[in-house]
Amino acid sequence: MAKKVGIAFEPESIFIEFADILPVKQLQKRVKKTKKYLQIAASIREVGIIEPPVVVRDRNKRGKFLLLDGHLRIEVLKEDGAPGVNCLVATEDEAFTYNKRINRLATIQEHKMILKAVEGGVPEERIAKALDINVSSIRQKRSLLEGICPETAELLKDKHCPLNTFHSLRKMNPLRQIEVAELMIAMDNYSVSYSKALLAATPQGQLIDSDKPKSFKGISAQQIAQMETEMAKLQREMKLIEDSYGPDHLNLVLARGYLVTLVENEEVSRYLAQNHGEILSEFRRISEVVSMGTREQS
């Protein structure tokens, strides 16, 4: 019978005075000047606590709690003169499972949340104040996908792309946008400099403004032409690799299975050890490396 999984938190959140909450780490004085702290402070002061701090009951002191997550939020509330805060009470002391394991919002996800908030009647000024950014940044985030084709948006929907990367994409036609998005994903590089390099290497006919000659500061027309040629070559090579990846992977899996069979056969293993020790050692090394990679992926 499957083992039952216990609940991670007590059913109800409770209000706890700060005097009864014991932090598990001390914040340095300079933390109050960091961007993260200022954003949290702005958000709390504008819309209140969205994510309650997480505590666990102190087993040695009745009525006391250890703070697992929310040190910055509590520091902001103390600074504002609040007496306490509603907390989630964890059933186990496992601080490592909280914020450091959370995937932060991707750029397009943030764009959609801002759009939804604006459509719901929240003023841009209030959103900007809650996020501790200026209104012009909110407007940039609102118009993030203007000029971006749906297929490109789908490819990048969970990627952390700088805003100016989308600025480069807007200058390309839809097919080129998709190609560039796939290249960025393959290289796991979404930086502004990389997107500009891909824009510089984009043939004139694949730009939205195809009649206007490309011009990039510090790059000559000859260098741009060379980049276009090398990019076209790189894309052809990547296509060849994509086409052969499936069969190559299958052949490697079959070859590894055969090597494992040889190594596990006592007679073959004994013969190789006596006559070809270096080959047996290599067979074992290859089998172990591949099997380790397989375990890590599972």
pLDDT in tens, 247-256: 877 788 888 8
Higher pLDDT, 56 or 126: 56
Q: Decide if 234 is inside a domain.
A: no
Structural domain for 127, as ranges: 104-144
Q: Decide if 229 is inside a domain.
A: no
Q: Considering the chain, what is the average pLDDT of its residues?
A: 82
Does 85 lie in the same domain as 26? yes
Contact call for residues 75 and 18 (beta carbons, < 8 A): no
Paired tokens of 124: 């841009």
- Examine the pLDDT at 294 and tell me if it is beyond 50: no
Sign of CA dihedral 272, 277, 279, 281: positive
Identify the helix (H) or strand (E) that includes residue 16: strand 14-17
Mapped onto helix, strand or coil, the DSSP state of residue 10 is coil
Q: Decide if 230 is inside a domain.
A: no
Number of domains in the chain: 4
Report angle CA 274, 276, 282 to the nearest 5 degrees.
Answer: 125
Per-residue pLDDT, 219: 67
Contact call for residues 145 and 108 (beta carbons, < 8 A): yes
* Domain end (from 79, 114, 144): 144
Does 126 lie in the same domain as 155? no
Strand ranges of the sheet holding 54-57, from the earlier edge strand across to the other edge: 14-17, 84-90, 54-57, 65-69, 21-23
Does 215 lie in the same domain as 179? yes
Does 88 lie in the same domain as 122? no
Q: Decide if 224 is inside a domain.
A: no
Higher pLDDT, 151 or 98: 151
CA pair distance 278, 291, nearest whole angstrom: 20
Closest by Cα among 147, 189, 154 to 171: 147
Q: Read off the pLDDT band of 73 (50, 70, 90).
A: very high
pLDDT in tens, 101-158: 455 668 888 888 888 888 888 888 888 877 777 878 888 888 899 999 999 999 999 9
- Examine the pLDDT at 98 and tell me if it is beyond 60: no
Contact call for residues 5 and 71 (beta carbons, < 8 A): no
Helix, strand, coil in percent for the chain, rounding step 5: 60, 10, 30
Mapped onto helix, strand or coil, the DSSP state of residue 249 is helix
Against a cut of 0.85, is the pTM above it? no
- Examine the pLDDT at 291 and tell me if it is beyond 50: no
Backbone angles phi, psi at 13, to 5 degrees: -75, 155
Average the pLDDT over each of 60-64, 139-143, 166-170 and give the range with the smallest value. Answer: 139-143
Q: Decide if 9 is inside a domain.
A: no
> Taking the C-alpha atoms of 114, 135, 192 and 101 in order, what is their torsion angle to the nearest 10 degrees?
-50
Does 129 lie in the same domain as 164? no
pLDDT in tens, 230-242: 777 776 776 777 6
Does 95 lie in the same domain as 38? yes
- Examine the pLDDT at 220 and tell me if it is beyond 80: no
